Amino acid sequence: MLIIWGLRVVYHTIAQGVFYCRKCGGDRNYRHRAGRRFFTLFFIPVIPLNKTGEHVQCLTCKTGYVTDVLRLPTTAQMQAALPAGVRAMISVMLRAGDPGCVPARRRAIEMAAGAGAQGYGDAALDADLAQPPATARAPIATLGGQLKPEAREWYLAELVRIALADGPLTGAERAAAEAIAVELSMTQAQAYGAIMMTEQAANQD
């Protein structure tokens, strides 16, 4: 009697969801799979052996990725994080200065609208300003985790321009800018550079 035996890796799905597939260039469904090597008899897995690791597979293009890819934000998450984070940042900055200053409010509204907050106006701004200050930390940190360093500096500079709309930076406004920089995961040097350069540019205008 001929006995056929061998080894084979068997995968099983441990999770499913949506992720950003670099090959497809967009959000796609994935399956998170774990593998285990089996001893086979007549091509049938019968004895489980060692684990062979885990990977993520795009269900559209079938490309496999290491599981770290799931830490990257999806396009949908990024689109939601941007307006939420910007709205939180401008509310922090305006509270530190004069929330009623018309030029500052105009700049803040323009910044929020530019970040994708559709229909954002004075009523929405007042609603954000009425929120407890502590609620701003999470959306700012989420946004900071998704931005490149140069983008963090750009947004901080825009916030400083909002504060400068009613005159030179006050101690409270500077402290707010520095606190926002921390939430954005900026270094102290990056924050100082962005704030100082924006102030200098404003003084030259």
| Domain boundary assignment for the chain | 5-71, 75-204
- The pLDDT assigned to 73 comes to 82
SS (H, E, C) 126-157: HHHHCCCHHHHHHHHHHHHCCCCHHHHHHHHH
- Of 89, 190, 87, 85, the C-alpha closest to 143 is 85
Query: CA 18, 20, 23, 26 torsion: positive or negative?
Result: positive
Domain 75-204 belongs to what topology?
TerB-like (1.10.3680)
- The pLDDT assigned to 205 comes to 64
- The pLDDT assigned to 10 comes to 75
- The pLDDT assigned to 4 comes to 77
Q: Which two tokens stand for residue 120?
A: 């954002």
- The pLDDT assigned to 1 comes to 53
Q: In what order do the strands lie in the sheet with 5-21?
A: 5-21, 26-41, 44-58, 64-65
- The pLDDT assigned to 173 comes to 96
- The pLDDT assigned to 143 comes to 92
Under DSSP, is residue 193 helix (H, G, I), strand (E, B) or coil?
Answer: helix
- The pLDDT assigned to 49 comes to 80
DSSP state of 135: G
Helix, strand, coil content of the chain in percent (nearest 5)? 50, 25, 25
- The pLDDT assigned to 32 comes to 95
- The pLDDT assigned to 38 comes to 83
Biggest CA–CA distance in the chain, Å, is: 93
Distance CA 193, CA 199 (A): 10
Q: Which two tokens stand for residue 195?
A: 């704030």
- The pLDDT assigned to 42 comes to 75
Sites in the chain below the pLDDT cut of 70: 1-3, 205
